[in-house]
Amino acid sequence: LEAGDFDLVITDYQLGWTDGLAVLRAVKARSPDYPVIMLTGTDSEEIAAEAMKARLDVYVTKSPQHFAFLPAVVRSIQEQLQKRQVMKQAETLYHNLYERVPVGLYRTTPTGEILDANPALMEMLGYPDRESLLAVNVEDIFVAPEDRRQWQALMEREGIARGFEMQLRRRDGTVIWVRDSARAVRDADGRALYYEGSLEDITEHKQRERELKAIVTVSATLRTAPTRADMLPVILDQLCALLEAEGAALAMRDLDSGESVIELARGGWANWTGVRLPPGEGVGGHVIATGQPYISANVQADPRFARQIETNGLRAVACIPLIALEQTIGALWVGRKTRIADEELRLLTAIGDIAANAIRRATLHEQTAQLYKQLESRESFITRILESIPSSLVVIDRNLRVVSVNRNFLEKTRREARVTLGHKIEEVFPQALVEYTRLDQKVRQVFRTGQPVEGGKVAYRAPGLPSRIYYYRLIPLKVADEAENVMLLMDDITDREHLGEEVRRAERHLASVVECASDLVVSLDPQGRIVTWNRAAERISGLKAEQVEGRSLDYLCAAEQQPVMAKMLRGLIRGAGVQNIEVKLLTANGQEVPIAWSCSPMRDDAGGMVGIVAVGRDLTEQRRMEAQLVQSAKMASLGVMAGGIAHELRNPLGIISASAQLLLERPDDAQLRSQCAQKIHAATQRASVIIENLLKFGRPVDQQMREVDLHAVLEETLALLAHQVTLQEVTLRKEFQPDLPRAHGNPQVLQQVFTNLILNACNAMPQGGTLTVATRATEIGRVEIRFSDTGRGIPPEHLPKIFDPFFTTMPVGKGIGLGLSISYSIIQQHQGTIEVESQVGQGTTFTVRLPVTADGR
């Protein structure tokens, strides 16, 4: 019994050391499944009852009949024992299968109570033991209550469910997909007692299915997206939906700078769009630089990127490189708050590969489209250029056939494209023209040498049109340094030829005019050197054209005026406009001829200066006439001053006469004789000064310019006019600036100007007044002489005409109107100015400004 090495126990009730009940209890306690047969000689109901309570298998009363029955009983018990062992083995096998099968097995009631569940189901739903799972109601596990209702309706209707897919919630809150196969166990009345079935976790399958669907969707969508800009939102939106990402971004590598440019971002990273990252910076820059994927549950804990990226709270980041043709072109990354699994990284990588190739194809397509567009635009541009070229253009191939022409050629030749393109040149051009120009030979020469050929002029007449003159040339059109075609360029120069002939006629006419002109006409190059020298210049200077050609014009001027001419020429070279100047020309025999020069620059069509034209007028005769005019004006002034001069002379003559009379009457008075002699001497000196000033004023004008002491000239003039001023009761005020710089001029003609202005001032004050003569030096190298009277003034309408010749407001016989005109001319010859200011009833002021001498003394 201790060893248990038996199959059946047969015992008598009465034993010497114990009884059968004790043996029964011992066997059943140790091996409850082993059968026990007990024999007894008594037919005691109490013993039988006790034995049955102790789970006795067979109770046999000792008798001949029972002993005969005993073998059959033993065989029956052995058979039952074998059946129980088989059943036990089956139960053990079922239990092991139930406990170990990788499919979740369950038994639940229609109300959702879980009756049983195997370990696989507990693991599938995340429960630590059977008790914790059995405490949950099935309805709480279903994610969608509608799934529970549909499943239960199916079970009630069909009694069986095969492959019903639904989502269940695990104990930790995560959601899984399961496929359920179940049956309903019913009672005799058909009511469902419970449901039993199996659950298969198909979450990974669903994930793969979802991934495949997403990949197919992305791939299909990307195939229909026409541009890269259309692709990027599809990629990012699909990733956000598939991976439940809260942020997504796509960056492309800038091949020129090496920077990473975030072309589009979504979700919490939307503000990243357009950000440029230096090479290798940030997660995207790192992935692009290394070409390796990156995944982190908390990117901000990564010391490489903690300070380089602001994830807006999305710490879990996965980033993969976009690789196309073994070249990293960008990066794609997603972020969310929860950890990103490795399988999700694989999905991201798969979509990234599709996206990279799609982006590359789109980029190539866009680049190709752009190239085609540029090509079309360039072709259109070239076509427009060719059509707008005012030349006839013909493109010829190696077979001497015309392959292209522009509109100008078709219009000029009255041809149509259909009878021109594809035809040989001898069919397009007249045979005589081809033979005359040897066009076929020259085209072959261009193909052979690859060098352009300058043709020449040729006359061509299209049907119904007058003959035109063309200049043609042949230009190779090369591909890879080899002439593929030859372009015949024909410029219509008919109008230019006619215009050229007209220009030549005009030039001949102009040359005749210049040669016949009485004025000097000199052309200079941009450096001021003489190029042409007309006959008048030769006649006046006595120098031939070949003698002066190439010399600077200023060297042919009077020595003291060469700087003036040189300065004027420099101004023209620097861009000044027309310049007028009076400079003396030095003749071949050394004489100085006054010339009034008018010089202007010659410019080309672009405005650049190509030379200077100097036109000079001989002023010799004009100066002679002016001198005579000035002399006449002096004589007229002397006539005005005659009364005053006579009075001035009469005074000293009276003194002389009276003194002589006294000497005759008192010849012995020595003291009187001395006094009379002194008076006679003083009166004689006074008369001599008056006569000297009068002679000086009336002397013919000297044309030489020199340094002039203006104060001395003014004093002489005022002395000469002193009696006239006094006679007309005019008060004279002099406001002379001390140390006034000397002027450059002619004192005789300047005295005439001052005389005219003083006499005019006196005439303007018939009732007397004040004449102020003032001098001063200005800051611009000039001296200023002002003559201000307090007379009747000049009406405003007369002011613009007072310097005109013969303009006068004086009565007939009182003046002819040349005084101010002569004065104006004299001051202009001195390179000075004369101005007038006047107010009726208040007076008039004439201001004369003259240049000072070079040293300014």
Asked if residue 824 lies in contact with residue 803, where contact means CB atoms within 8 angstroms, the answer is yes
* Average pLDDT score over residue span 66-77: 76
Q: Which residue has the higher pLDDT, 703 or 174?
A: 174
Q: Which residue has the higher pLDDT, 501 or 335?
A: 335
pLDDT at 179 over 80: yes
Q: How confident is the model at residue 812 (pLDDT cuts 50, 70, 90)?
A: very low
pLDDT at 137 over 90: yes
Strands laid side by side in the 9-12 sheet: 9-12, 36-40, 58-61
pLDDT of residue 309: 57
* Average pLDDT score over residue span 552-563: 88
pLDDT > 90: percent of the chain: 26
**Which domains, and CATH codes, for the chain?**
9-97 (3.40.50.2300), 103-201 (3.30.450.20), 209-368 (3.30.450.40), 390-497 (3.30.450.20), 517-610 (3.30.450.20), 624-851 (3.30.565.10)
pLDDT of residue 629: 61
pLDDT of residue 499: 82
Q: Which residue has the higher pLDDT, 89 or 468?
A: 468
pLDDT of residue 305: 65
pLDDT at 52 over 90: no
* Average pLDDT score over residue span 546-573: 89
Question: Mean pLDDT score of the chain, rounded to an integer?
Answer: 84
* Average pLDDT score over residue span 124-145: 93
pLDDT of residue 682: 73
pLDDT of residue 699: 52
Question: pTM of this prediction?
Answer: 0.39
pLDDT of residue 813: 46
pLDDT of residue 325: 84
pLDDT of residue 199: 93
Cα-trace Rg, the chain: 67
pLDDT at 630 over 70: no
Q: How confident is the model at residue 399 (pLDDT cuts 50, 70, 90)?
A: very high
User: How many alpha carbons fall within 13 Å on the CB side of residue 609?
Assistant: 21
Q: How confident is the model at residue 40 (pLDDT cuts 50, 70, 90)?
A: confident
Q: What does the alpha-carbon distance between residue 121 and residue 16 come to, in Å, rounded to a whole number? A: 57
pLDDT in tens, 383-396: 777 777 888 899 99
Q: Report which DSSP code applies to 824.
A: H
User: Which of 171, 325, 337, 315 is CA-nearest to residue 244?
Assistant: 337
pLDDT of residue 128: 93
* Average pLDDT score over residue span 738-756: 88
pLDDT at 109 over 50: yes
Q: How confident is the model at residue 278 (pLDDT cuts 50, 70, 90)?
A: confident
Helix (H, G, I), strand (E, B) or coil at 668: coil
pLDDT in tens, 402-417: 999 998 888 888 899 9
By the 10 Å C-beta count (0-12 exposed, 13-18 middle, 19+ buried), 598 is classed as: middle
Q: Which residue has the higher pLDDT, 625 or 445?
A: 445
**539 to each of 521, 532, 533, how far by Cα in Å?**
12, 14, 10
pLDDT in tens, 664-699: 877 887 887 787 888 787 778 766 766 665 555 555
pLDDT in tens, 752-770: 889 889 988 998 998 999 9
pLDDT > 70: percent of the chain: 90
Asked if residue 753 lies in contact with residue 746, where contact means CB atoms within 8 angstroms, the answer is no
